[in-house]
Structure 1
Amino acid sequence: MSNWIQKTYSYQIPVKYHFFFWIGYFIVNFVRWGSYFDDYVYSLKSNLVEFTIHIFLTYFHIYYLIPKFVLKRKFTLYFIAAIVSLTVVYVARTELNLLLVSSNIWPEAIGAQKAYSFNHIVAVTIGEIYVVALVTAIKLTSDWIYERKKNESLKQLQLQTELKYLKSQIQPHFFFNTLNNLYYLTIEKSEKAPDVVLKLSEIMQYVLYDVKEPKIGLLNEINYIQSYLELERLRHGDKITSEIQIKGNIDDIDIPPLLLLPFIENCFKHGSKNNDAVSLDIQFENAKDEQLIFSATNNFNVNTSKEKKHGIGIENVRRRLELLYENRYSLETKIIDNTFNVLLKIPIL
């Protein structure tokens, strides 16, 4: 708790708001007591004296006593300092009222009351505590609101930072795989190698320059997936068969960039073994303008899945989905009759 309070005191309310508060509070008291006594001259004089003392005591409490004693858990010293400060304030307020305002020290009291009497001391002390408590409550409330907004901003920044990190993992992961393919072709002195370099340069342009925004058009992402499939066909030739189906209108749908590629990569990881054929079916569906449904199905090679290392792709996507959509998404991956199936549902924003 003390750590929270200490953090909030790092925030300073702009001076103009202090000014507006005290002016407003002064006017209310001036009108109130002027109307009560039907003597606005007396109300003006007494409030000028008392508000000067209120301001001194309030700021002394907020900016000195609390940071020096309360935040350091020196509560005994805090109470001693508070009692001493209230005593000094009482004496100063009483003497200044007697000197500058009126010899009738407590005109609103029933019967004649003298200065330094028990009743007068209690009344003045309670009045000062009321003002200090009111202003301190306003300060703490303001600081709490500020701290809450700051924490929300920090949380969003943390999420954005993690999302950028996860997205940055995808790019080298993809290029590493593609360069391996290119290396394979150059060893075989394949005529396809130059075409792979050209296609890779197109994809690099997309990844390095076109996906800096948090959202990108789904059509652009599909074109990117098609470019990736063309790269795989350059390597494997007719052994790669794929089909992309689109249901509904997807022209205006935006999604986080590079969100779907790991699923496509995963299909090739599971589907190829010793240059075996890979059959891949991909489908995009706009479900009633509320939900985007992405599905991918490919032939599954059990021996390949056991031998190959567990990649970062799918786990990366799961983490990104959690950060982006919390519990508003659905992701299923399962194996049915030697086929690997992916079904992803995300809200259309």
Structure 2
Amino acid sequence: MYINDKLEELLKVESPQQYKITYKHHIIFWAIYFLLNTLRWGSIHNDFALSIKTNLIGFPIHIALSYFNIYFLMPRYVYTRKYITYALLVVACLFVMLLVKFNLTYYLVSTNVMPEGPETDTLTLNYAIITMFGELYVVAFATAIKITVDWLREHSKLHDLEKRQLTTELKFLRSQVSPHFFFNTLNNIYSLTLEKSDKAPEVILKLSGLMRYLLYATRKRKQDLKSEIDCIQNYIDLERIRFNDALQIDIGISGDLENKEIAPMLLVPLIENCFKHGASKNIGDMHIDIEINVDDDFLYFNVSNTIPKNEADSKVATRGGGIGLSNVKKRLELGYDQNDYELSIFEKEKMFHVDLKLKV
């Protein structure tokens, strides 16, 4: 499976819209929290009426303090790294909350303001510590949820950006076929038309088929392997006309090509490389050997060409063939899992070899 396929599947789950917090989510969260808290304290004190009254007073304070922290204090002081100011303001808010909650509980619910602890009707240090830490727990819990959702949304956006960049780069690499080939082919067609050769219509038809493949197949992430091989054969037929009898090409195709898929225009640069760095720079007889075999789920693609007689050209070839092979290497890295391919480039017996094993 392609890496960008995996990213796309991931993004279907982690869409930025999916992590958007709506008013509905706020209402559901606080409703569930209120219900659980009411049941908890009602069970502890065996007095659900008292639990409902205290929570009706406490929860508006929880909500106000939580949202004030999330949407005002943190953006202005935490995200700007004013931590001391933030800490002082949080303590001040908790103290104000303490005074409000004490008075509301005392005058509206019960003079015993701390039913969960020692009975008291005054603002003691013990009451202040228990109440402020309890409020801090609620604020921290709500803030943690908000931070987690924000992180998931930003992480999803980052994946979306990486996926877009990856897709753009892959499309660019798929469309990179040497323009020199088209210029040379057009020159060949021009020469054939001047000679009124019967080969001209055939060359134009093959070039048309190749260009059609380039225009439409490269829009897809995967293409039928058979179509890719047909494209290679058209390419080779056009180059045969260009080099005539000076070029010997042996091509063998075996295995079951049906229902196999490959990244479009992945193999053509390997063939093009043979002509660009082999045939075009040789003097005398030239030889290109191509073997294509499909065994189970793997394609074995082996291509070799005569090494240029010029020593400098040979160094170019053994370094990787320039843009063509670099393009293929990059596309394999971006488009396939590391375990799904093996690419070998080497020189042997005066021939330059490229061997590719690819999962299809």
TM-score normalised to the size of structure 1?
0.88
Specify whether residues 218 and 305 from structure 1 end up closer, same or farther in structure 2 by C-alpha distance, changes over 3 A only.
Answer: farther
Q: What SS does structure 2 have at the residue aligned with 1:267?
A: helix
Aligned pair 1:332/2:344, yes or no?
yes
Q: Out of 54, 59, 62, which is 1:54 matched to?
A: 62
User: Displacement, 1:14?
Assistant: 2.1
Query: What letter corresponds to residue 93 of structure 1 in structure 2?
Result: K
Gaps of 5+ in 1: 1-7
Q: Which moved more, 1:319-328 or 1:208-217?
A: 319-328
Aligned pair 1:256/2:260, yes or no?
no
Hey, what does 1:101 align to over in structure 2? Answer: 109
Specify whether residues 339 and 280 from structure 1 end up closer, same or farther in structure 2 by C-alpha distance, changes over 3 A only.
Answer: same
Q: Out of 205, 208, 213, which is 1:201 matched to?
A: 208
Q: What SS does structure 1 have at the residue aligned with 2:338?
A: coil
Aligned pair 1:179/2:179, yes or no?
no
User: Displacement, 1:283?
Assistant: 1.6
Aligned pair 1:39/2:43, yes or no?
no
Specify whether residues 311 and 181 from structure 1 end up closer, same or farther in structure 2 by C-alpha distance, changes over 3 A only.
Answer: farther
Specify whether residues 213 and 304 from structure 1 end up closer, same or farther in structure 2 by C-alpha distance, changes over 3 A only.
Answer: farther
User: Displacement, 1:26?
Assistant: 0.5
Aligned pair 1:151/2:158, yes or no?
yes
d(CA) in 1 for partners of 2:188 and 2:204? 13
Residue deviations 1:47-67 (CA, integer Å, cap 9, x gap): 011011000000111111110
Contact 1:263 1:313 in 2 (8 A): yes
Contact 1:272 1:278 in 2 (8 A): no
Hey, what does 2:10 align to over in structure 1? Answer: none
Q: How does 1:76-155 map to 2 (within 5 A)?
A: 76-110=84-118, 112-155=119-162
Specify whether residues 27 and 274 from structure 1 end up closer, same or farther in structure 2 by C-alpha distance, changes over 3 A only.
Answer: closer
Query: What letter corresponds to residue 292 of structure 2 in structure 1?
Result: F
Contact 1:296 1:343 in 2 (8 A): yes
Structure number with the bigger relative contact order (C-alpha 8 A, sep ≥ 6) is 2
Aligned pair 1:265/2:272, yes or no?
yes
The alignment of Structure 1 onto Structure 2 pairs a total of residues equal to: 334
Residue deviations 1:61-108 (CA, integer Å, cap 9, x gap): 111111000110111211121111111111111111122211111122
User: Where do 4+ consecutive residues of structure 1 move more than 6 Å?
Assistant: 307-310
Aligned pair 1:227/2:238, yes or no?
no
d(CA) in 2 for partners of 1:12 and 1:98? 40
Gaps of 5+ in 2: 1-15
Hey, what does 1:295 align to over in structure 2? Answer: 302
d(CA) in 2 for partners of 1:22 and 1:185? 76
Aligned pair 1:284/2:292, yes or no?
yes
d(CA) in 2 for partners of 1:284 and 1:101? 85
d(CA) in 2 for partners of 1:274 and 1:70? 68
User: Displacement, 1:275?
Assistant: 6.7
Contact 1:182 1:196 in 2 (8 A): no
Aligned pair 1:344/2:356, yes or no?
yes
Indicate the percent of aligned positions where both proteins have the same amino acid. 40
d(CA) in 1 for partners of 2:210 and 2:154? 43
Hey, what does 1:312 align to over in structure 2? Answer: 323
Contact 2:113 2:121 in 1 (8 A): yes
